[in-house]
Structure 1
Amino acid sequence: MIKARAYLSFFFMVLIFFGLIARLYRIQIEQHDELSIRALKHHYASQSVKAERGRIFDRNGDLLVYSKNEISFYVNNKNKKNDVADSVVAAAFSKVFGKPFQHYMELLSIDKSRVCLEKKVSNKYKNAFKNLHCNRLYSETDNSRFYPYGSLAAHVLGYVNRELKGVNGIERYLDEELKGKDGKLTFQIDARKNIIAVEEKISVPPIDGKNVVLTIDKNYQSILDEELLNGFNKFGGEAAVGIIVDPNTGEILALSNIPNYDPANYNLFDNESRRNRAISDVYEPGSTIKSVFLSMLFEEKLASPNEIINTENGKYKLYSKWIRDTHSYEKLTVREVLEHSSNVGIVKLSNRISPNKFYKYLRDFGFGNETHIDLPG
């Protein structure tokens, strides 16, 4: 009887032993990664570190857009136990920022886990409260985008939203290059989630965005903005567009739209003001096509600058339609046809080139082709 009990006890002990072995195997081998992550979550915490968005320069190196690293201070008012008194925190903030003591006391009395004490202040205050030893006080980097010249080249530069994501213009077209890659700051915490130390070895530094240099010339842009506005105010209209292009390279030196807007306060302007008509609207070339057409004739030797054209005193009927000039001239040379922008003269010359060849030249000049301009539209 005693031996039977001994065997039975031994059998149960063996079962328990192998049960423990199986459990340890499951914990140490099968669930190792999962449990390790759980343990790390209890001992470590992380915080995103914003990358600085790239700057935008004009062709001469003048800074047109940049980001300013600012900082915001928050408190967790639901975690006051065994922490610095509200009055001490309020006094410290009042001394640094010059606001009334009572202002901060009111904020510290709000029963929320996230209360902002100061929003977007200079980054120089980052370590201002390092010796306060307030566990519930923390700060976050709060980058802002600045456009020092206001509305200058607004339709080229574009703007970013509150998350610093490019929405329009170069800010949108080159958003991936400009935004960079955020980092991660990891720190060790105790059971009460108080920070013990920063773990620099497993923290990941941010990678700042790339800088961009435009073909835009700030001085030309300023002149174009001013002259376009003067012309718009003088002659009126719903909108106006102006572009300065280097004819040798095709580089855009200035691009302006009216209505204009301020990228830093884009939300105060409607979509019509923010729309870049220079690249989004379709319009007839009008008399500007005359110089292109005459170059075709000269290239094909179908006309010469001093050849005389009968311009019919500014009135000519073609296929039951009357073609008219602003000024009445009986005769003009081909050169003068262009100088006076004579519709009658151009119509008469247009019969000298075939439609197929005319189309080929238009394509060679780039009409109907992609411009490959680095702007969304």
Structure 2
Amino acid sequence: MPARLRIVRLVFLFAMFGIVARLFYWQVLSGDKLQAVAEIQRSSTIEIQSTRGRILAADGYPLVTNQPSYLLFAYLPAISADKAQISETLSPLIAPTPLELKATPSAELTKSLIQDTKSEVFTKLTSRDVAWVPLKRKVSENTKIAVEKLAINGLGFENGQSRLYPEASMAAALTGFVGVNPSGSAQGYFGLEGYYDLELKGKSGFIKQERDAAGKPIVVGDFRGSGARDGRDLKTSIDRGLQLTIEAKLQQALVKYGAKSGEVVVMDPSSGSIVALASLPGYEQANYADFDTSVYKIPSIADTYEPGSTFKAMVMAMALEAGAIEPDTICDATCDGPVTIGKYTINTALKQYNPGQTMTNTLELSDNTGMIFAAFRLGKDKFAGYLHEFGFDTPTGIDLDQETVPAYRDTWGDIDLATGSFGQGLTVTSIHMLQVISAFANGGVMMQPHVVDEVIGEITQKIPPKMVKRIIKEDTARKITQMLSDAAHNGLPKWMLPVGYKVAGKTGTAQVPLDGHYDTSTTIHSYVGFAPADKPRFAMIVKLKEPTFSPWASTTAAPLWMDIASDLFIHFGLPPSPESK
């Protein structure tokens, strides 16, 4: 065989070997990978968005629901018209209005907003590194129709939803808002939206379909999909009428008393249901990004503070439960004057002293020296034990996002016990204080506070009241209730009590700790209690931060509590008692 022929044969053999080897690589070694790549190239996946669940008031009316919302986008390779002209035509339709920006309407401002939008749209349309650009989010149905009438090739809409708030910003902190997480997906933040995000958002579905080389669906091609599972609705225990009334009264109080912020929480002591929860200043959930992030949280569950004299009710209940005192126990020489512990001297608020006072008198007078007497009768170890027993170092379990739990010291000195007896040197949250005072109202049984009564979907899940535990005996609950009733009716707030009703409660004026000392110029005022005292229907806490009207809670927080209580008596159909008049 000629040498040239042998060379040709070898070339063909090597070529054939190379082809076989390559086919082996493609078909065997990389078959699965290449098949997956081909499937991606010839198919498309469309996400089917689930409908987010609604948040309902106790009467079934929506506090939060949904409305159609669209994303206007431009697919740049498909745009053939003049981009400057598109920007000129489109900007009047999608520019924000002065009202949307909470600005005073004017022709000049409107013209400026349209011009800014025109420049922004043109910049996006002339982008070089992308094929798809978003032009406007949260487009309304009317705006969508107006843009579609322009018939501009390359513009399109993605269907979506946005949250709608029929009651405007009412209960904003309670409901929370829906934002966008780092991956670009909608996510609930704060309040109910944050706590129940998984239940509310449901699960998105998808449609996967084969397409031809031109990108058109193949009718007989592979078609797969999974339907979306819509989110579930939340039915809450929130009373719309009370919520609206309480927010209005709280706003008036902030102005009247010059307070920086305020909060009110109303709870059914027998079930733990939260009837109303208000905190101001608030924000607009639909425009949450326009507000300072500090207003997003619910201060009643997220902020800790030194409770001041409202904590005297808790310490007195501890001492009663331990058998260290009785309501008529008479204070010894501790109450004759200032109390000295080590290098510290403790006075009463007005530096007035009441020798021979009973423990009931101590609460009526809000006397610090009497509280020190009761606390030292109780002892440091039992005091620390009751702090735990009352749940101050554990979450209440309320179904709202970002509950905070205060930290407590491991060891207690004499001065710590003394100051702790009147609510100084330790911190609480408002919801903890309300939970404990509600246990007193409920015969000593502590309930878990909750906002949601039902989770509604294909299957409705009712959430029953949950008993946490008994924290004091029923007899102790009767005693502390009578003592708190005497404090309300014989103490400083007595002149503002609703006529014909027996109230049990306690005021608190707390200084604000600042850099290792107390700022005497700023205080937190609160009132916590329940009513009617003999058959409680509601428990409530009111807190005002740094009011300037008065240094005492008896002239700020207490009047607000009594004012709201008067409405609650009417709302719940509770008639006045003749013997209480």
TM beyond 0.5:
yes
**Alignment partner of 1:139: what SS?**
strand
When residues 311 and 341 of structure 1 are mapped into structure 2, their CA distance, relative to the original with a 3 A threshold, is: farther
Shift, 1:321, TM fit = 3.3
When residues 221 and 340 of structure 1 are mapped into structure 2, their CA distance, relative to the original with a 3 A threshold, is: farther
1:66 aligns with 2:65: yes
The residue that corresponds to 2:378 in the other structure is 353
When residues 12 and 282 of structure 1 are mapped into structure 2, their CA distance, relative to the original with a 3 A threshold, is: closer
1:39-65 per-residue CA deviation (whole Å, 9 max, x = no partner) reads 334422233333322322344433222
Distance 1:172 1:8 in 2: 76
Distance 1:322 1:12 in 2: 108
Shift, 1:124, TM fit = 10
Shift, 1:278, TM fit = 1.9
| Kept after mapping to 2: 8 A contact 1:49/1:141 | no
- Equivalent of 2:306 in 284, 297, 303: 284
| Kept after mapping to 1: 8 A contact 2:347/2:369 | no
Larger Rg: 1
| Kept after mapping to 2: 8 A contact 1:52/1:69 | no
The residue that corresponds to 2:281 in the other structure is 259
The 5 Å alignment of 1:43-82 reads 43-79=42-78
Q: Say which is worse superposed, 64-73 or 142-151, in terms of deviation.
A: 64-73
Shift, 1:325, TM fit = 5.1
Distance 1:119 1:282 in 2: 38
Amino acid at match of 1:316: G
Shift, 1:266, TM fit = 1.3
**Alignment partner of 2:227: what SS?**
coil
CA-based RMSD? 4.6
The residue that corresponds to 1:103 in the other structure is none
Distance 2:332 2:220 in 1: 85
The 5 Å alignment of 1:176-255 reads 176-195=198-217, 201-255=223-277
**Alignment partner of 1:184: what SS?**
strand
Shift, 1:286, TM fit = 1.6
Distance 1:114 1:309 in 2: 80
**Identical pairs, percent:** 30
When residues 355 and 7 of structure 1 are mapped into structure 2, their CA distance, relative to the original with a 3 A threshold, is: closer
Q: Say which is worse superposed, 13-22 or 159-168, in terms of deviation.
A: 13-22
1:28 aligns with 2:49: no
**Alignment partner of 1:323: what SS?**
coil
Distance 1:74 1:187 in 2: 23
| Kept after mapping to 1: 8 A contact 2:177/2:193 | yes
Distance 2:224 2:356 in 1: 84
Q: Say which is worse superposed, 114-123 or 23-32, in terms of deviation.
A: 114-123
When residues 349 and 148 of structure 1 are mapped into structure 2, their CA distance, relative to the original with a 3 A threshold, is: same
Shift, 1:297, TM fit = 3.6
**Alignment partner of 2:225: what SS?**
coil
**Alignment partner of 1:46: what SS?**
strand
**Alignment partner of 2:249: what SS?**
helix
The residue that corresponds to 2:37 in the other structure is 38
**Alignment partner of 1:47: what SS?**
strand
Distance 1:45 1:364 in 2: 59
Amino acid at match of 2:274: I
The residue that corresponds to 1:371 in the other structure is 396
**Alignment partner of 2:159: what SS?**
strand
1:168-224 per-residue CA deviation (whole Å, 9 max, x = no partner) reads 233233333333333333344333334555978323333333333445443443333
The 5 Å alignment of 1:286-301 reads 286-301=308-323
Shift, 1:309, TM fit = 4.3
**Alignment partner of 1:78: what SS?**
helix
The residue that corresponds to 1:159 in the other structure is 177
The 5 Å alignment of 1:81-230 reads 113-114=131-132, 120-121=138-139, 136=154, 138-162=156-180, 163=184, 164-195=186-217, 201-230=223-252
Amino acid at match of 1:280: A
Amino acid at match of 1:68: Q
Amino acid at match of 1:290: K
When residues 135 and 198 of structure 1 are mapped into structure 2, their CA distance, relative to the original with a 3 A threshold, is: farther
When residues 134 and 155 of structure 1 are mapped into structure 2, their CA distance, relative to the original with a 3 A threshold, is: closer
The residue that corresponds to 1:102 in the other structure is none
Shift, 1:315, TM fit = 7.3
Shift, 1:117, TM fit = 8.1
**Alignment partner of 2:277: what SS?**
strand
TM-score, normalised on structure 1? 0.73
When residues 187 and 125 of structure 1 are mapped into structure 2, their CA distance, relative to the original with a 3 A threshold, is: farther
Distance 2:346 2:7 in 1: 117
The residue that corresponds to 1:101 in the other structure is none
Shift, 1:129, TM fit = 12
| Kept after mapping to 1: 8 A contact 2:209/2:223 | no
Alignment gaps of 5+ in structure 2? 94-120, 405-581
Distance 1:118 1:240 in 2: 37
The residue that corresponds to 1:271 in the other structure is 293
When residues 344 and 13 of structure 1 are mapped into structure 2, their CA distance, relative to the original with a 3 A threshold, is: closer
Shift, 1:298, TM fit = 3.2
| Kept after mapping to 2: 8 A contact 1:48/1:184 | yes
TM-score, normalised on structure 2? 0.51
The residue that corresponds to 2:387 in the other structure is 362
Shift, 1:154, TM fit = 1.9
Alignment gaps of 5+ in structure 1? 98-106
**Alignment partner of 2:282: what SS?**
coil
When residues 315 and 234 of structure 1 are mapped into structure 2, their CA distance, relative to the original with a 3 A threshold, is: farther
| Kept after mapping to 1: 8 A contact 2:210/2:223 | no
Distance 1:325 1:311 in 2: 20
| Kept after mapping to 1: 8 A contact 2:375/2:383 | no
